[in-house]
Structure formats: C-alpha cells, structure tokens
Structure 1
Amino acid sequence: MYPNFHLTIFPSVRLLLLILLPSFILSNDFNPYTSAPALTLSLPTKTSVLLLTLDQPHPSTSPTSTPTTRTLAYASSIVHLTGSTNDVIELHSVLSSLPTDVSPAVLSRLVSRVLYERRFFPYGCHIVVGGWENGEGKVWNYDGIGSMEEVSSVVIGGGGAELDSIPLCPPPESPPPLKYAYRRPPSPNTKLDITDEEGQGILKDKVGGVKGNLKDVGVGGKGWMYRVTEGGVERRRNAPIHSHKSIDRPRIVVTATSGFGSHTTTVEYGLNEHFKGGDKANGEASGEASGEASSSGLPSRLSSGLLLELPSPKKDPNQRAQDLLLHFLPSSYPHSVSPSYPHYATLQFASTLFSSCSGVLSMQSLLYAVGLGAGSIPMAAALNWVIKDGLGQLGGVLFASYLGTSQAFDSNPKKWRFVSSLSMDASTLMEVCSPLLPGYFLLIASVANVGKNIAYLSASASRAALHSSLSLQGNLADVTAKAGSQTILASMLGTGVGCLVSPFIGTDWVNVAMGFSVCSAGHLGACWWSLKGVALRTINKERGGIIVETFLTEGVVPSPDKVARLEPFTPFSPKPLGWLKVGCDLPTMTSSLGDLKGMMEVTSGEDWIVKAADDGRVNIAYMKGVEGKDIVRSMLHGFLVKDMLEKGGGTGGGEGGVDSVIRESLEVLKVKEKPFLEGLEENGWDLSTDTVNIECRRAIRLEVHS
C-alpha cells in the first residue's frame, strides 16, 4: 500500500519545499486506499499554511504483505480567502529514500529534522501534519523552533482559527481503485455531473450564515470559484466541478472565517458513495468543530460533499508557458481586473515592442548625426548630447505643469495616452531625420527630446487613470507594477529585434525611414486598438454626451463598453458638443446682477444656472457645493434646452422665450431624471463628485451671498 500525504502550499514556498524534500521525484502511481481523517481548516485573512496530510489505511484494513518503497504526494487547493490568494500548485512527487511506509509520527520527525537542519524557522507560515496514528486521527504542528509536536488543535492567527483532527467512519473493506485521479480536467464546455444550479444551491446552504466581512470561498483548485455576497453566491471562476461516484477521496472540510471567528461556514468536498450511510457521523464530526449542522439536505448522489478532479502531474508546454505568464499578470488574474484587461495589455505590449524597435533605428541615426556635426571634437559631441537632454527634460516639466491645471489627464486619459504615442513617434521621426541636417543636430535633438519627455509624462499620467479603471479589487498598485514589468519585457524584446534588423537596414536614410514607418504604424495601430477596448466608468464631456444622446434617442443608458466603442479620443477627432459650455465663469454668463437673479429664479432649487441662445448654444455655470450627480443632470438639462430651441419650443421670442424654454425643459428633466440616474447606477457609471469632469478647463464655482 502506498500511503499518501497532501500538500497545500503558496507558490512562494515552492522552491523551499523542493529544497526541504530533495528526494521527491515525479510519479504517476496512486494509492487506491485513500481513507483519512477529516481535517477542518478555519483561516483568518492573510494566513500562510502548509498542510501535509498523510493518508494511511484505517487499522481495520489488512496490512500490506511487503513494504513499499515510495510514498506518493499530490497537492490541491484548500481555500481562497479575499485578501489572501492561495495560488496553489499541484505537486506530484515520490519520497524514494524510505525503505518502508511511514506513519504520520515518522513523517513528522522526518520533516522536523529536515527543517531543523536547514535552519528553517517559518514564522507566519504554519506547517501541519495530520493522519491516522494507532487508530486515531492526530495532528502534529511545527513550533517554529525546530520540532514537530503532537497537538490536539492548532490555533492560527489571532482569530481563534483552529485545525482539528476528526476521525471518520471506517472505510469499506475493499475500496475500489481511484480511476480518475490523473485525468485532465474537462473543458468548460463539457457537460458536468454537477450543474451550476446545484453547486450554487449547495454553497448557499453552506455559506448562507456568513455575515459581515464576507470572504471568497473556493471549491477545490480546479472547481468553480464562488463569491459569497449578501444576495447569495456568485460564480467567479471558469473551471468546472466534476463528480464521479467511483472516486474514493479523503474528506477535507474547509471552514472560512468571517471577521475574527464569530461566524464560520463549512464547505466540504472529497466524499463519495462509500461514505453514504455515515452522513450522520460525518455531520456530527464537522459540526463539532465548526458549529455547522448536518449536510443531510445535499443531493444524495453527492453524499456529503463535492468531488474534485485533479489535473495530470505531467505539465505540458502550454501549462509551463501559462505559469511563466502569471509572473507578468496581476495577482488573482483574471478575477482582479476588468474583462477588457487582456485586450489592453496584449496590444500595449505590442505597441511598446514596435516603439522600442523604432527607438533603435532613431538612436543609430542620432549617433551618426552627432558624429557628422561634431567633426573630430569628441567633447563637442558629448556637450551637445547633455544640452539636448537637459532642454528636453525642462520642456517635459513645463508641459506637465500646464496640463495639470486642467485635469486633462484624469478627464480624458485615453486621448492623452494616444497623444503620448503620437509625440513619441514624431520625436523619433525627427531623430531619424537628424543625419540630413547634421549642422542643426542640437536644435533637432533638443526638440525631439522635449517631445519624448512629453510622451513619457503623458503616458505615465494617463496610465494611472487607465489602470484604475482596469483594477477591480483595490489593486491599482499591483496592476501598475505588472504593467511596468510588461513594458520592460516588451522594451527588451523590441530592442533585441531592432538590433537584429539594424544590420540589414544599414545606414542608408531611405531604408531607415522605411523601417521606422513600419514600426510607427504598428506602434500607433496597436495603441489605438488597445485604448478602444478600455471601458472607462468615469464621465467626461465626450462620454457624457454619448450617454445623454443615447438616452434621449433610445430611452436607455448605454453601458461603459458600448460608450468605449463610440468614444472619440484621437486629437484629430472633431471637438464634441461645441454648442455646450459647462463650468463657465460669471462674465461668460452675464455682466448684470439683474440677469443673474433672473437666471437663478429660472433654475430655482438646482445647483446650476443656464444661459441659452436662439441658435442652440448653451452655457452652464455651477454653484458652490454642486455634486457629481447634479453635474450630469445639468448636462441632460442642456441637451433638453437645445432640443426645444431647435424645435421652436417656448412662448414668444428673445430672452423671455429662452427663459420659457429653460423652465419647460426643467420640468421635462424632472420626469426623465429618475430613469436616467437609475440607468447610470445599474451600468456602473461613477457619479462621485471627484471623478465627474465635463467642464471646459478649471472647475469654477459661483457663490452668491444674499
């Protein structure tokens, strides 16, 4: 018989585990006898646990006649908690140096000795060994100073979370072989034995009692991921739960702690038909540790839990490539980022690669130009290089200071990200052309460097707003850091490609210009396409105009994805809503105190005033304290005013007629604003005062004292 032990471990401990257990090698064998004590694991957030569970046959079964020489190990996911992502690996290994099967006590001493000799004192990482010993389920805990000690329970963290051993009912006398242990997981399109509705129903029974600080509960490393919310259980992961009645698995009971242990809930998986009839004992065992009731309400074919399909121990090249790719993706990808992230990141990577490749060609041209211009005086060439860098940095600082006063980066990050790419390519083109005018090297290189610094500042400032819209779990820093890693990798690859093709292009200016044209087209095309797919949830003038116009024509508020497809963001796009000016100052609205009082009376009760002309031009000014929701409402009001003016609404002409139109449109606004605001909230638009930015430049507020 091959006893087994399970390992659940963070990726950061992967290398350490391979060092600690050097005698492990890969194996495809599996023990058909898989009965083991049930372990109830209750973890607070941000806790690292290495769980080794030695699965030995129950003492009631007959011992093997000959000693075995291998002990098989495999890993599976135990639990995923919000804020502490267990990116668990499946590790299939064999301990080949032992002459016979070992008991949990022997394994504990072995691990203890290895850890002590390695001087490994894992503060904050709990190492637990559990299994059958003399007919009882027992637990050993590594105390962090060099030894494994037998304990009745393990307290993890300050929330009173415990890891208890709970003996199960004896296994059958002749357990069947584990037929499906190493089958690859079915594709998401495979028909499942457990339907999504059944899975959600099971989890609702199990996690329905969790209140307050709700957690993410994962059902197995390859199972559906569910998030517990006040409204129920939502599926979070596109990987199937698979059920096979003939699989005999150990029973592992996972308890997710809410807060500091005041509420717990249990999710079980790993049981099969052979535990039928023992549900009462199992329910009592799990209830004793976690306070949960018996699971008698589950579908009968599932017994007391969900069965987990393990992947093959042999990783194919595609899996290895995916593991490498994870180092360049945000933690908990894809759940921690918006659906548009893969599209954006992939095309930005391609855009950076093309830009770096063209940078090699421009640098070659610059070096050639500075050599021609400086003649035989190296000091002059070096001085020119330093001066052009200094002038370029100064120009970039002035540009950022100018645009910072208008919040342009925050209100329209897609536009300025594309402007950054245009500025970079224009500057690179100037550098490519520098050998044609070597006598003007300093002027050309300085202007080009100003453009490059403008590009760097525009890109970094606009990326912050873009990454904020792509991050879903407050992980802006992580998304930004991984974007930096992706940029570095793309730059390295682009530089390498540029160095490879440079000898073939040579120094002929026509060839260099043609090579630059290809790289520039790829750079700008990939950048434009990547930005087109980013759905921003903040409202600026362009997006606000699309939202209001769609609402008035179609009767529905468009989603951020639809607006992203319609939104113009290139500097060559026609200026939208030229007839509407918002956030105007007082001189633009009126120069008369009487007119100001009249405007305030027309829009009495609102935080804005409106000035309109017969030709459809509308100006809006805001009072101090106006909120983001009211700014968006005022934009809807402006559209209604323009529409009524074009249709000849109102009574009379001149100022009296315009005032009548403004009053009538305000009444229409009060009818339409409720479905309009509800549609904005349902589609996830951000109406907070700090993010709504539809104004011309600086935010101007009027304060009127009576």
Structure 2
Amino acid sequence: MHSSLKSNPSSRLFLIPSKSTSTPYPIFTFPRKFSSYKSLRTSIDIQQEGVSKEEELILPSNVTRRLPIVIKSSGRVSRYFLKGDSLELVCVVDEDHDDTTSFGLDVGFLKLIRLSSSAAKDFFIPKQVSDSYISYVKWKFLHRVFSSALQVLATQAMFRAIGIGQSRSLASSAAFNWILKDGLGRLSRCIYTASLASAFDTNLKRVRFSTSVLFSLSIGVELMTPVFPHYFLLLASIANIAKQISLSCYLATGSAVHRSFAVADNLGEVSAKAQIQTVCFDNLGLLLAVLLNMLFQNNQRLQASLPFVLYPIFSAIDLLGIYQGLKHINLQTLTKNRLEIILERWIQSRQVPSPAEVSKEEGVDLLGSRASKRVWQIRIGWLDPKAQIPKLSMMAMQSLCNDDGYFITLELSSHGFRRTPRPGIVICLREGANSLDVITSLLQSCYIRKAFVTNRLKRKDASFSDLSLQDWSFLAGESKVAARDDFTEMYKQMQEQGWIVKNVLLSAEEQVRYIFDQHQSLTL
C-alpha cells in the first residue's frame, strides 16, 4: 500500500544538490540515522562546465521564462512566469479549446456561457462526488420546485379560509412580505452555503458557533419590532436572513457531528435520537416561556419589558451551552489544522494523538488565531506572486519534473493590521494528489519548520538571504527522507487511533492544484 512512498532518486522535491553534503552549521537534527543524502542526488548539478547552476537559472531582468506550473481556479487558467528575479502569475488563453472562430460565433459570448456554466456547476455541485450525484440532483430539483409551489398554494388557501387576502391591497401586501421576508431569507441562505461549502468540513466548530451568535442576534432584532413598528417588515426580513443562514449551517454540519458520535456506524440511530432530543428540549423551552408570561400576566408593563430583561441572560446561557458542547465533539476527519497538530505531536513524542486530544488542543478557534501566532506558518495552496519569494524557491520551480507530486517553497508575506512581513512555508499540490501526498508534504514541512525554529533562523525578522543554497538543499533532502521514513509507522498509528485517513478535507483555497506542463522550457 505504501510502496509508492519509497524514496525515488528520480523524484525531486525542489532538490538542487550541491557537491558537498556538509553544512556550515547543524541546520537539521534527527533522533536517528537517515539514509545518505547522496541517494537523493539528481541529474541537476550545481557545478557544470565552470558555471554554477544558481547562476544559470537566474535570468537577466529583460528575459522572461515560462515555468512548468499552470493553475486552474474559478474558470481561469494562469501560468507562472519568471522575469529576472521576480515571479509573475499571468492569466493565459487556452488555445487548444479556442475553436470558436471556425464556426463564426462570437468568442466573447461563448466565453461568457462557458464561465457561467462553470460558475453554476461550482455553485451547486461539490467537487468530489460519485457519478450518480448529478442524476440525484436532477430529480431533487423536480421534487423541491413543485413541493415548494404546493406549500405556497396551501398557505394562500389557509389565509383565505380565515378571511385574509380578500382585498387586492392585502393580497399585494402579503405577496410583498413573502418576497422580502422569506424569499430574501432563502436567497441569503443559498448564497451563504455556496460561499462556505468547504468551510463546513474544514472549520466546522468555528462556523457553527459563529452562526449561533448570528442566530442569537436575530432574536434580538425580532425583539426590537415592537419598539419600531413602522420598520416591522425590514427588521423581520433582516432577522429571517440571519436565521436562514444559521439554519443552513446547522443542517450542513449536523451529519458530521452525528458521525463523530456513531462509533458503531449507527448514524441513523444517532440522527434519530438527536431529533427526539431537539423536539423535547425545545418543548421545555416553550414551557419555560409560557410559565414566565403567566407569572407576569397581571402586570402588562413588566410583561412587555420581560423579553428585554431575559434576552441577554438567556442568550449568554444559550451560547455557553453551544460553546461547551462543541468542545465535546471529537471529529475523526483530517483537516490541514488537525493534521498539523497530529504531525507536531508525532515529531515531538513519536506518538499520534487521539481525536479527543486533538479536539481539546484545537478548540473552537473563533478568530483563527492559533495558526497566526506561529513564526513559520504552513500554507497549502498556490504561490502568491505578491509575496516575497526567495531565489532558491524560484530555481526549485524551474527544476520541477514530471515525477513530483508536490513542491514546497518559502515566502515572506504580510499578515495582520500592521502588515508585518512574516516568513512562511507554502505547499503546492499537483493535480491528482491524494491524501498520502498531503500528509507526506505537510510532515516534511513540519520538519523544515522545526529546523528553522530550533536554529538561527528562529527570529521573526529572518531574511531568506541567511539561508544558503547548500543549506536549503540539505534541509530539503533530509526532511524528505525523514517524512518518508516516518510515514508507514505514523500512518498505522493514525488508523489505530481512529482517524479517517482516506481523505484530507481542505478549504477552497487549499484545493487549488497545479498542472505540470512539459512544454515549459521557453525563454521569451
């Protein structure tokens, strides 16, 4: 199963080996002996006919070289170009698919249709589903459209039965109320779920708690309607939008939460019991509200002010219960953040933590401050040309070959309000990369970060110029060997601890892949 993870001399992970494997300082230290660095040597040599490879790969400022890396995102195809010592990401036109001129059709119109179709597909369809999912969605479309229409007709009939809507003005007002209140609420719910589809998997606890806060605020908006009766429709519409967004998050994350508790694959039973709990607990809440109203029914003034007095108290208790409950959800699925916690613990103690231990360390992390506090942040995605990219990383991109499943580079990007440049590590995954590639690349990046933190590059204002080509080559090779040597035992422990290692859930930004283009050796 893991044979594909053995070290392959022809597979280069941005390696540019030097003649000597020694470094001027111990930049990397492991608790055991590793394979010889010479086993990772490739056909690229630093010295070749008296000219260093570093000098050969750095271009004059007036020369542009096309790199073998193509990025496809949101219907756009972009390619990296190296111009002198700077990196550029340029949107290119796919000439292989530009056959519209032979039919005499408008290129811009067909391009608009193609982009619209791609956007609609990304809006409604997940990225990784079975082949039968499209057919299921077609029949679901038929079911939901006519079911919703029947509900509207039934509601109108009920209004007529009690005398509402007999006049044209009332009918028009009811229709206007439906469009603003319910229509805008459902539309906002649709837009929200589409924009945060992957976040329901990667940041489940954070999204669920934030939408719970939003739901609590919507209750406060509804309580303000008696104070501002002239703005009833506006306030009700705003509150309904917030409730619909919160409901969408609750429904989207419910199955993942139930699955985390179903240790015997009894997902149906856990979901059914959860519905029973919800109905019973909600009825107790209704009973509490009725009793409080009955208690103050003889004092209309106190009864009118009761919601404003109880709202902050009940909301605080509500959010406290949600926050504490989320801490007890031990998700077994792997995300980038959870995997990073696991790999750090593995490097420190050679032991894989359980889902409960990772959940305790992960917490809810409302503002995502855990990752931002690190000196060397690890990021999965595409390389941002706006960030400061060291020359050795640019040379690594030029030496990329067809056997590489990913490559790792360094960057110096700005974060926070002060926009202070901070060093970071970027993992770029190739199209078709699986969970093994994600785990291996992240483990290698954690080893690289450990080397930086424990040596002279620990300081926050570290300059990439402090890292020589020889040091980076040695660090890359040893970290790659360490990751591949550790993988089998670590993977076994992850399975024993109950982690679902089949897939690694990534956000939309982390799902961006590069495509290797063999026809890249062009200098413009």
Common fold: TM-score over 0.5: yes
Q: Which residue is equivalent to 2:500? A: 686
Are 2:388 and 2:411, in contact at CA under 8 Å, matched by a contact in 1? no
1:533 aligns with 2:331: no
1:626 aligns with 2:421: no
Cα distance change, pair 383–624 in 1 and its aligned pair in 2 (3 A): closer
Specify which of 458, 477, 484 is matched with residue 249 of structure 2.
458
**What is the distance in 1 between the residues matched to 2:310 and 2:244?**
23
In 2: Cα distance, 1:586 partner to 1:561 partner: 35
Query: Paired residue for 1:395?
Result: 188
Counterparts of residues 59-98 of structure 1 (less than 5 Å): none
Larger relative contact order (C-alpha < 8 A, sep ≥ 6)? 2
Alpha-carbon offset, residue 456 of structure 1: 0.6
The reply to whether residue 662 of structure 1 matches residue 489 of structure 2 is no
Does structure 1 retain, via aligned residues, the 8 Å contact 2:214–2:243? yes
Partner of 1:551: 346
Give the aligned length. Answer: 326
Q: Distance between the aligned counterparts of 1:516 and 1:381, measured in 2?
A: 31
Instruction: Structure 1 unaligned segments of length 5 or more: list them.
Output: 1-376
The corresponding residue for 2:371 is 576
Cα distance per residue 1:625-673 (max 9 Å; x no partner): 2121321221121122222223247996356644443233223323433
Q: Quick check: 1:434–1:444 contact (8 Å CA) kept in 2?
A: yes
Pick closer, same or farther for the CA change 1:686–1:620 going to 2, 3 Å: same
Retained in 2: the 8 A contact 1:645–1:661?
no
Equivalent in the alignment of 1:315: none
Deviation at residue 413 of structure 1 after TM alignment:
2.3
Does structure 1 residue 482 correspond to structure 2 residue 273?
yes
Amino acid aligned to 1:518: I
State the partner residue of 1:187: none
Aligned to 2:514: 702
Deviation at 1:570, TM superposition (A): 4.5
Q: Partners in 2 of 1:554 and 1:574 — Cα distance?
A: 25
Q: Are positions 1:430 and 2:209 aligned together?
A: no
- Kindly provide the amino acid, as one letter, of the partner of residue 638 in structure 1: S
Displacement of 1:380: 9.0
Matched AA of 2:339: G
Shift of 1:591: 10
Letter in 1 for 2:366: P
> Which residue in 2 is equivalent to 1:565?
360
Distance 2:402 2:343 in 1: 23
Q: Give the stretch that moved more between structures: 419-428 or 387-396.
A: 387-396
Measured against aligned partners, the alpha-carbon deviations of 1:388-442 in whole angstroms (never above 9, x if no partner) come to: 22222221111112112xx111223222222232121011111122333223222
SS of equivalent residue, structure 2 residue 379:
strand
Give 1:603 deviation, angstroms. Answer: 9.4
* 3-state SS of 1:489 partner: helix
In the alignment, the residues of structure 2 paired with residue 398 and residue 529 of structure 1 have an alpha-carbon distance, to the nearest angstrom, of 29
Q: CA deviation at 1:688?
A: 0.8
Pair 529,507 (structure 1): closer, same or farther in 2 beyond 3 Å: farther
Question: Residue 449 of structure 1: CA displacement?
Answer: 0.7
Q: Per-residue CA shift, 1:527-559, capped at 9, x if unaligned?
A: 122221121111112212221222223332111
Q: Is 1:515–2:310 an aligned residue pair?
A: yes
Match of 2:76 in 1: none
SS for the counterpart of 2:285 is helix
CA distance in structure 2 between the aligned counterparts of 1:443 and 1:415, rounded to whole angstroms: 29
Deviation at 1:451, TM superposition (A): 0.4
Q: What residue number does 2:211 align with?
A: 420
Alignment of 1:41-190 (within 5 A): none
More helix by share: 2
Q: Is the 8 A contact 2:392 2:469 kept in 1?
A: no
**Aligned CA distance change for structure 1 residues 571 and 592 (closer, same or farther; 3 Å):** closer
* Distance in 2 of aligned mates of 1:468 and 1:425: 26
The whole-number CA distance in structure 2 between the counterparts of 1:616 and 1:662 is 17
Structure 2, unmatched stretches of 5+, are 1-168, 413-421, 458-463, 519-524
Once residues 507 and 175 of structure 2 are traced to their aligned partners in structure 1, the CA distance between those partners, rounded to angstroms, is: 45
Q: 1:572 deviation in Å?
A: 3.7
Cα distance in 2 between the residues matched to 1:478 and 1:554: 38
- Mapped contact 1:581–1:695 kept (Cα < 8 A): no
Decide whether aligned partners of structure 1 residues 698 and 635 sit closer, same or farther in structure 2, where only a CA change above 3 A counts: closer
Equivalent-residue separation in structure 2 for 1:589 and 1:607 (angstroms): 23
Amino acid at match of 2:266: N
* RMSD of aligned alpha carbons: 3.4
Query: How many angstroms apart in 2 are the aligned matches of 1:589 and 1:603?
Result: 24
Deviation string 1:46-69 (CA, Å, 9 cap, x unpaired) is xxxxxxxxxxxxxxxxxxxxxxxx
Q: Highest CA radius of gyration, 1 or 2?
A: 1
